[in-house]
């Protein structure tokens, strides 16, 4: 799984890597605090350090003030960086509120002290007086030294205050001092208020005590998979979150499927009569998109959230009613023969729509996320080959995947290719109601469904109802009547695609002509 962006910052391996430097005995928080305390309260140690580092490459002696500023700046930067990482990756409750305030206070005091050291009047005499002279020496040489000056007094007072907070943190801050990945991981898990993981990953938490368990997409888990996190120690409550109207667990074996291996704990409890709480407000889809799924899958129990009801949620990307928030676009093409179906005519239409979308978005300088959903892997592969490098579609953020691959996702625009087109009204597993529900509920602003109306109407499935609903709502369009495909673009893109046919040969002129023959080419 790709872990990047903000997600990477809460990923356990990232946290361990970040905290390892801050917990290390040689570079970590304790080393930085002790080094600062020594620098502030042991003048002779500072003087010895200066004597070791005072000679420069050109043979000249480094001024005391330059050494002090440089050394202090290094310690300040390391300590600040260390504490910034700790406060970002360790819960405040573990640091403790008093220590958290001390860290914030110390950082501010060090910043002010650094500015004071950087003033022009903080010369060698001041640096020597504040950092390299013992109290006894100051008393003996009180008439000759500059420690009585206002700047020296100010630096001395601030140094004492910084030293006090530093000692307090060394004494009170209870954080690990280790480079062990195992110990740091354990510390992170024990300290965390929330742990996000997969159900299989929860097996690694067998020694952790958890009060509450939340299982997301619970309706897509096999019952046996849900049992893994339910074995966590100390659980008082378990909440299953899912949608039994969408895709269940994937079970490839028909025998296992008939034995209900794919049934989820969510479904079992539901069948046993356990009360469910319906989250009945959807905040994703434009109301025109949500009408059909709400009526067909959820008994009209779902309400549209206030955000999708606002005028700003209605977005227009291409001209024409065909490309409104919701439309069924009838395409008179034919599916290829084979176990995994492919429809070259729909592919050509999809490429034309993507081509026009890309140009429209470039002219308006807007970035739009587009998902192309196909129930058949052969159609997915054909479109991916036709698109080539998805980055070339910029400013479109394009994804092409199967229905299963889109569960849990959402995009600004969804183009749904139903693929099936035959005289028998045969649509195979496209008739699966749960799969149809997922495909029809991924779009935020626009859902454009491509299909052969005659085939879908003759299927005796949910798709027959969808086509009739589109007709009734005046969202039904014939591609031949409302849009044309530029002949030069369509032929060029198809010729360059090098799509493989079902029997292992490349698409030839007959395939291309068959794909384009049912489309009215632009004049």
pLDDT for res 1: 52
pLDDT for res 294: 97
Q: Is the separation of the CB atoms in 344 and 336 below 8 Å?
A: yes
Q: Which residues contact 1 (CB under 8 A, 6 or more apart)?
A: none
Helix ranges, 403-507 (H): 403-406, 433-440, 453-457, 462-472, 479-482, 487-497
Q: Is omega for the bond preceding 395 within 30 degrees of 0, making it cis?
A: yes
Backbone angles phi, psi at 477, to 5 degrees: -135, 140
**pTM higher than 0.75:** no
Q: Which two tokens stand for residue 430?
A: 């496209």
pLDDT for res 51: 85
Provide DSSP, 50-76: HHHH-B-TTSPBPPHHHHHHHHHHHHH
Return d(Cα 418, Cα 436) in angstroms, integer.
Answer: 10
Q: Which two tokens stand for residue 54?
A: 């005072």
**In this structure, how many other beta carbons lie within 10 angstroms of the beta carbon of residue 347?**
26
Q: Which two tokens stand for residue 86?
A: 């700790």
pLDDT for res 88: 92
State the Cα torsion 512-513-515-518 to the nearest 10°.
170
**Collapsing DSSP states into helix, strand and coil, what is residue 456?**
helix
What is residue 177's DSSP assignment? -
Q: Is the separation of the CB atoms in 19 and 87 below 8 Å?
A: no
pLDDT for res 458: 95
Return d(Cα 218, Cα 410) in angstroms, integer.
Answer: 19
Measuring CA to CA, how many Å separate 424 from each of 51, 133, 456, 466, 476?
94, 98, 10, 18, 22
pLDDT for res 49: 86
pLDDT for res 57: 61
pLDDT for res 339: 81
Q: Is the separation of the CB atoms in 446 and 414 below 8 Å?
A: yes
Average pLDDT, consecutive stretches of 10 residues, N- to C-terminus, the chain (523 residues): 70 93 96 94 88 73 85 93 95 95 96 88 82 66 54 89 96 96 93 91 87 94 93 93 90 87 92 92 97 96 96 92 96 88 95 95 92 96 94 93 93 97 93 95 97 96 97 95 43 33 37 38 31
Beta strands in 199-345, from DSSP E residues, in sequence order:
212-215, 237-240, 281-282, 303-304, 326-330
């Amino acid at each position: 799984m790709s872990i990047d962006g903000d997600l990477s910052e809460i990923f356990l391996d990232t946290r361990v890597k970040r905290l390892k430097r801050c917990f290390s005995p040689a570079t970590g928080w304790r080393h930085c605090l002790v080094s600062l305390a020594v620098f502030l309260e042991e003048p002779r140690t500072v003087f010895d350090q200066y004597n070791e580092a005072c000679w420069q490459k050109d043979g000249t002696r480094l001024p005391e003030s330059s050494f002090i500023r440089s050394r202090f700046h290094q310690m300040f930067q390391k300590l600040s960086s260390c504490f910034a990482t700790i406060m970002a990756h360790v819960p405040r409750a573990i640091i403790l509120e008093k220590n958290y305030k001390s860290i914030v206070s110390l950082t501010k005091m060090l910043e002010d002290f650094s500015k004071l050291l950087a003033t022009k009047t903080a010369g060698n005499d001041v640096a020597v007086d504040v950092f390299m002279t013992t109290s006894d020496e100051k008393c003996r040489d009180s008439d000759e030294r500059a420690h009585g000056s206002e700047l020296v007094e100010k630096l001395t007072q601030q140094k004492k205050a910084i030293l006090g907070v530093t000692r307090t943190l060394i004494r009170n801050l209870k954080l690990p001092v280790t480079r062990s990945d195992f110990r740091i991981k354990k510390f992170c898990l024990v300290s965390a208020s929330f742990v996000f993981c997969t159900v299989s990953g929860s097996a690694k938490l067998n020694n952790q005590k958890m009060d509450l368990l939340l299982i997301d997409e619970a309706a897509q888990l096999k019952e046996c998979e849900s049992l893994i996190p339910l074995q966590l120690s100390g659980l008082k409550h378990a909440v299953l979150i899912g949608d039994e109207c969408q895709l269940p667990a994937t079970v490839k074996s028909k025998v296992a499927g008939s034995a209900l291996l794919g049934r989820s704990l969510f479904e079992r409890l539901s069948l046993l009569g356990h009360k469910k709480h319906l989250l009945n407000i959807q905040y994703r889809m434009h109301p025109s998109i949500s009408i059909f799924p709400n009526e067909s899958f959820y008994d009209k129990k779902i309400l549209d959230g206030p955000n999708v009801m606002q005028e700003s949620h209605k977005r227009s990307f291409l001209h024409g009613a065909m490309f409104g928030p919701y439309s069924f676009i009838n395409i008179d093409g034919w599916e290829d023969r084979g176990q995994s179906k492919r429809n070259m005519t729909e592919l050509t239409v999809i490429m034309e729509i993507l081509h026009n979308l890309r140009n429209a978005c470039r002219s308006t300088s807007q970035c739009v996320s587009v998902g192309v959903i196909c129930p058949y892997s052969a159609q997915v592969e054909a479109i991916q080959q036709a698109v080539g490098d998805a980055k070339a579609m910029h400013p479109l953020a394009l994804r092409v995947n199967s229905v299963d691959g889109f569960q849990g996702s959402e995009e600004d625009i969804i183009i749904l290719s139903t693929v099936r087109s035959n005289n028998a009204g045969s649509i195979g597993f496209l008739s699966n109601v749960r799969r149809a529900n997922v495909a029809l509920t991924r779009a935020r602003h626009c859902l454009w469904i491509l299909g052969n109306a005659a085939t879908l109407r003759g299927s005796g499935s949910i798709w027959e109802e969808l086509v009739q609903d589109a007709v009734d709502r005046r969202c039904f369009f014939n591609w031949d009547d409302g849009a044309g495909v530029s002949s030069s673009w369509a032929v060029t893109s198809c010729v360059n695609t090098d799509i493989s046919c079902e029997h292992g040969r490349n698409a030839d002129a007959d395939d291309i002509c068959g794909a384009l023959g049912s489309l009215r080419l632009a004049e």
